[in-house]
């Protein structure tokens, strides 16, 4: 499933295509949403936000389209009059006089009054979004130490969208590696310095992934890996995620894989000791 940075990049594309111009045609595939076509026709998309893995397309008449890609949804944008070449099922199309945005395969779509978004059952459960709401290091530090989260194992906590919205498997793995924290460790087991470092990295790595389009390793490490002959993006993108049995780029120890709650967790046993 795409994580927060990928959804934010998709939102940027949609906003660039359809924002600030009147919607001339809007099409919903789901019958229960089709009455909203008349309400949104002729309105203007003000902006496109994200909340974790959900996208919010805000219109100037006080309505917002909520969409969640889940596993298979995907947004495409193109010039007006052109259609993406895909075998996916069209769920939503927005057209202005110049461009179009198409959402395929997603099944979780709704139209909500903008001033009532927090009543939506998914949005109401979410923690802060690193990319859209820009929480501070202190904000994340306090959440890590709060009663709700401090006794949770970090590997599970970082996937809890109620803690921070938008983190997923690859961000979790890379954040915990750079924080030098084992995924089964709890916040309550960490020193204040470790908690602050983790809070800082949650923000830094998420933003780095957004700005680099998914390259999570620090620039200095990427430079070193490229100089060593690892030129392909997938070779220098991650240190830990998806690299079980391969050497950690920092210490040379083989990356390990464990299962927790049915999810794969990758970590370096040397950089991230269990005690």
What is the set of active-site residues?
2-3, 53, 263
Between CA 255 and CA 220 the distance in angstroms is 20
Contact predicate 225/231, CB 8 Å: no
DSSP string, 41-54: TT-BEEEEEEETTE
* Tokens at 132, concatenated: 């859209």
Region of residue 100 (phi > 0: left; psi between -120 and 50: alpha; otherwise: beta): beta
DSSP string, 232-270: SHHHHS-SSTT-TTSBPTTT-PBPEEEEETTEEEEE-TT
What is the Cα 64 distance to its own chain's centre?
A: 20
* Tokens at 33, concatenated: 């949403």
Contact predicate 96/135, CB 8 Å: no
Between CA 58 and CA 88 the distance in angstroms is 25
Of the candidates 208, 216, 256, which has an alpha carbon nearest to the alpha carbon of residue 236?
Answer: 216
């Amino acid at each position: 499933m795409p994580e927060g940075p990928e959804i934010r990049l998709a939102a940027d594309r949609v906003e660039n295509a359809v924002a600030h111009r009147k919607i001339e045609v809007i099409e919903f595939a789901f019958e229960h949403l089709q009455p909203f076509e008349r309400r949104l026709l002729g309105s203007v998309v003000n902006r496109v936000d994200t909340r974790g893995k959900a996208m919010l397309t805000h219109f100037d008449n006080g309505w917002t389209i909520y969409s969640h890609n889940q596993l298979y949804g995907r947004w495409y944008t193109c010039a007006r009059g052109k259609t993406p070449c895909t075998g996916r099922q069209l769920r939503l199309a927005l057209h202005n006089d110049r461009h179009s945005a198409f959402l395929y395969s997603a099944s979780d779509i709704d139209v909500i009054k903008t001033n009532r978004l927090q009543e939506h059952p998914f949005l109401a459960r979410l923690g802060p979004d690193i990319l859209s709401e820009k929480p501070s290091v202190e904000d994340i530090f306090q959440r890590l130490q709060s009663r709700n989260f401090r006794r949770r194992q970090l590997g599970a906590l970082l996937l809890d969208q109620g803690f921070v919205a938008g983190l997923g498997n690859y961000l979790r793995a890379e954040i915990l590696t750079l924080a030098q924290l084992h995924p089964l460790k709890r916040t309550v087991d960490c020193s204040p310095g470790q908690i602050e470092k983790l809070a800082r990295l949650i923000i830094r790595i998420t933003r780095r992934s957004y700005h680099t389009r998914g390259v999570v390793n620090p620039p200095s490490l990427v430079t070193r890996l490229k100089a060593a002959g690892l030129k392909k993006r997938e070779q220098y993108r991650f240190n830990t995620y998806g690299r079980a049995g391969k050497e950690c780029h920092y210490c040379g120890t083989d990356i390990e894989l464990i299962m927790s709650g049915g999810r794969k967790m990758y970590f370096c046993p040397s950089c991230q000791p269990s005690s």
